[in-house]
Every structure is written in C-alpha cells, then in structure tokens.
Amino acid sequence: MAENRTNREFQTRDKTARRRTWQRAETLPTPNPEPGYDFHWVRISTRGEADPTNVSLMLREGWEPVKASDHPEITLAAIESERFKDNIVIGGLMLCKAPSELVGERNEYFADQAGAQIKSVDNNFMRENDPRMPLFNNRSSQTTFGRR
C-alpha cells in the first residue's frame, strides 16, 4: 500500500488552492494610513479645465495636500499641473489629508444640516395633517434574511 502514495514533496498548497477570482482594480489608490489623519481626494480639474474654486474651498476647510515623497507606495502619480507638481495628482484629483478630529466635526456639521432639512420637510408635510384622515410619517425600515 505504501507504494501507491505520492511523496509529500509533490503536494503543494499552490496546486490545491482555490483559484483567485478577478477583481476590478481601484480607480484611486489608498495611501498607507497615518495615525490621527484622514485622507480625501480633492477635485482640481474637470475635463482638463482647472477648478480653483473647489481647491481653495477645500484648503480653507483644513485639507492639506499630501506630498508625493511622503507616500512612495503610490507610484501612479503623474504631474498634471505645475501648481501641484510635488503632490499626488491622479485624473484631476489631488490627495489631501486633515486631522481626524476636524473631519469628525465636519461630518457632524453636515449630519446636523441633513437632519434639519429632514425635520423641515416633515414639518411641512405634517402641516397638512387632518384628524379625519391622518398622515403617517413612519421612517423605520426592516431588513430580513432567509425565509419568512
């Protein structure tokens, strides 16, 4: 019986491993994380036309351009603009970073703005309410898996 066995040297994990499935490549690479900072791609041009208004707005909000020398793992960077030649720019987008606390405050501000808008719409909707034919404002949803 020992004669029918194959030698362990010929059995490799590569031969028995499951084939890796194809995945679409990321359009924008993800930089290595830095503690205390969040990253964001900022539009500097659209269809080859510069967008200085968006860039200045983002810089005033606290986003800082990331130097290409700080993240050598992103090698796809191409010089698309003389103004941002030392930064990482891909397809009209420039990689920027900001402190995590600032990003959290910004997200909280916009969440409050969205909540105020929803509240305003609800108030306007419920203003038309009549006790004889009440309107329902139910904002709950439910997700189920499997059979019911």
Domain range list for the chain: 37-99
- For the segment 31-58, the average pLDDT, to the nearest whole number, is 91
pLDDT, residue 20, reads: 80
Q: Which pLDDT does position 21 carry in this prediction?
A: 85
Q: Which of 43, 58, 142 is nearest to 92 (CA)?
A: 43
Sign of CA dihedral 19, 25, 26, 32: positive
Q: At 134, is the secondary structure helix, strand, or coil?
A: coil
The first and second tokens of residue 14, run together, are 């590569």
3-state secondary structure of 143: coil
- Whole-model pTM over 0.85: no
Lowest mean pLDDT among 19-23, 37-41, 71-75, 138-142: 138-142
List 38's β-bridge partners, or say none.
98
Residue 72 has pLDDT above 90, yes or no: no
DSSP state of 95: E
Count of residues making up the chain: 148
Task: Please tell me the predicted confidence (pLDDT) of residue 147.
Answer: 72
Average pLDDT, the chain: 81
Question: Which ranges in the chain belong to alpha helices (H)?
Answer: 13-16, 52-61, 100-126
Residue range 94-110, pLDDT digits in tens: 999 999 999 999 999 99
